[in-house]
Structure 1
Amino acid sequence: MKAVQVMSYGAADVLRVNEVARPAPGPGEVLVSVEASSVNGHDVIVRAGGLKMVSGRRFPIGVGLDFAGVVAATGADVEGYRAGDRVWGTVHPRQRHTTGGAAEYVVVPADRIAPAPAGISPVEAASLVVAGTTALTALRDSTHLAAAERILVRGAAGGVGTAAVQLAHAMGAHVTALARDRHAPLLTGLGADEVLDYGSTTSDAIGPFDVILDTVGSELNCYRSRLTKSGRMATVALSAPALAAIAASSVHGSRRIRTFSANPDTPVLRDLADHVTSGALRPVVDGVYPLTDTAAAHQAFERGGTAGKHVIQVAA
């Protein structure tokens, strides 16, 4: 089978599409024939060597944190799935893999997949797996967003941001989206009550907010100061400056900057599918790339300024 692999740490040109042996599912595992995967920040950080303590220094390393596809085979002790079932899921972000979701087949534990929602394509499904579960975890479990609260979504046009805007709107919150001005029509259509241009908006001129969800990772303390007295803030950015701000904010109690592990299992993936089925969440895809152009998808992700997700189409 074909799989995208990191052959050494570095820029996107270290990625290679290699021919490797198709894996076989062990007990409790499922073999998925992958139809689509997406580019996530985790993939780019691993490729660049930012998580060497997890990925190590042995190559090749697999690429692709998420996937949508069809069950090809199941291992012993797997119940509830059979060949031909459409599913979506993730590989474990804190384990080393020689192949990931950007491959023709992937093996994962059965508790890391769930039935994919009907009515959307594999490309659309792949665009929502990590982005959607991250946004859902941030709003529901980390910041406990409630109806009628005011939330700021910073970096609202990205994958996590577009999902968060929709989910926050569905939860009954007043949603302010901070993004490039050209993305305002998209974000309003997704449910944002207000869209602010990040290029001309300073943190001290907005708020206060009950919840702030950050996907950018800079100026975190400045934005934290825009919380209400009972406000909560979470970031999905894990850069060195962001980690320093998170640590320093611990003295602020409930108004500290939170981070969390977006490591979805079957129940979270099922919950996300329910939001898609209900119409509360729809995919936003910026670009679709064949497996052979995964490096180009990584480059587009790193350039930024996109609306939604970059998706790798594995099977036509």
Structure 2
Amino acid sequence: MPTPGPGEFLVRVHASSVNGIDLIVRAGILRAFTGRKFPRGIGLDFAGEIVGMSSDAVTFKVGDRVWGVMSHGQAGSAAEFVCVRAEYLSKSPANLDLVHAAALPAVGVTAITALRDIARLKAGDKLLVRGASGGVGIVAVQLGRHIGAHVTALARLSNLDFVRDLGAEEAFDYATTNPRQLGTFDVILDTAGNHTGAYRRLLSRGGRMATTCPDPNRPITSLLYVLMSFLYGTRRVRFFSAKPRTSLLADLAAYVESGAIRPLVDGIHPLSRIGDAHRVLEEGGRKGKQIVSLKS
């Protein structure tokens, strides 16, 4: 069992979710940043309960139900116990069990950051969500509906009814839809990263586009394109990485408790079958998150 360092809480993990970044790290694509030494933990977010803390950690008490992300961008939430600083934790929603709560921390704060804080989405705006049936997209569609935007979703053909049920007023198959058929939008949330120029042209004057990842096939070129969008024209593209902190996690919990956002779970796997959870996410096309349960 790990020992909490200064300012840290010891959390007994009930569940962790599998995110796209986990697949990238596991494949070694980020080994220049993560290093090459093993063993190496995996997993970004979690839900569980406080079972201990350092002498100077006072924000939570033993028995509190919490959710959060690993400190300082470290991986390793797919474990029985983790040590985390208070700023990466908040109380979990009172109306969710901890296994289903684990589906939301990373993707939820990403969607809130993109739509509320970066794009400043407001009621009446026209919103396009690319990758609407993915982890971030599922939350973005729900949040867009809650804010009062007109939500258009791009997803797999088999998932169109699913995203409509989440709140999309229009839904299109990304594989067969030409962007020029979609019209114009005030806000675009892009979770795919490719064809950025084609979608930027759909922005209305003063429109805002937030992208969660660069083009995986042309990362440098796509990042340069985002930078140039700030220098030329009125249609801005912003690449960002969410910074999950207590305030954002607490905002997410409030959205859940109000009914504005709910977790969608496709599969729950024991830790001993975490490989299955990764394989399912790699295959794609599922309706919800893959959860790794550590509850005995």
TM-score range (shorter-chain normalised) is over 0.9
Quote the offset at 1:307 in angstroms.
1.4
User: 3-state SS of the aligned residue for 2:187?
Assistant: strand
Question: 2:50 aligns to what?
Answer: 71
Question: 1:278 aligns to what?
Answer: 258
Question: 2:36 aligns to what?
Answer: 57
Amino acid corresponding to residue 25 of structure 2 in structure 1: V
Give structure 1 stretches of 5+ with no counterpart. Answer: 1-21
Q: 1:31 to 1:91 in 2, by over 3 A?
A: same
1:137 aligns with 2:113: yes
Quote the offset at 1:82 in angstroms.
1.1
Question: 1:36 aligns to what?
Answer: 15
Quote the offset at 1:140 in angstroms.
1.1
| Match runs of 1:96-111 below 5 Å | 100-111=76-87
Quote the offset at 1:305 in angstroms.
1.1
Rounded to whole Å, the distance in 2 between the matches of 1:157 and 1:257 is 22
Question: 2:64 aligns to what?
Answer: 85
Question: 1:306 aligns to what?
Answer: 286
Rounded to whole Å, the distance in 1 between the matches of 2:260 and 2:15 is 22
User: 3-state SS of the aligned residue for 2:78?
Assistant: coil
- Cα deviation 1:133-163 (Å, max 9, x = unaligned): 1111111112111111101001100111010
Rounded to whole Å, the distance in 2 between the matches of 1:240 and 1:264 is 27
Rounded to whole Å, the distance in 2 between the matches of 1:39 and 1:75 is 28
Q: Cα RMSD (Å) of the superposition? A: 1.4
TM-score by length of 2: 0.94
The count of corresponding residues between Structure 1 and Structure 2 is: 292
TM-score by length of 1: 0.89
Q: Report if the CA contact (8 A) 1:152-1:177 is conserved.
A: yes
Quote the offset at 1:278 in angstroms.
0.4
Amino acid corresponding to residue 155 of structure 2 in structure 1: A
Rounded to whole Å, the distance in 1 between the matches of 2:229 and 2:178 is 22
Amino acid corresponding to residue 248 of structure 1 in structure 2: Y
| Match runs of 1:1-316 below 5 Å | 22-92=1-71, 94-95=73-74, 100-238=76-214, 239-253=216-230, 254-316=234-296
Rounded to whole Å, the distance in 2 between the matches of 1:185 and 1:299 is 24
Q: Report if the CA contact (8 A) 2:159-2:285 is conserved.
A: no
Quote the offset at 1:243 in angstroms.
4.6
Deviates more, 1:198-207 or 1:277-286: 198-207
Quote the offset at 1:93 in angstroms.
5.8
Q: Report if the CA contact (8 A) 1:250-1:256 is conserved.
A: no
Rounded to whole Å, the distance in 1 between the matches of 2:160 and 2:72 is 32
Amino acid corresponding to residue 253 of structure 2 in structure 1: A
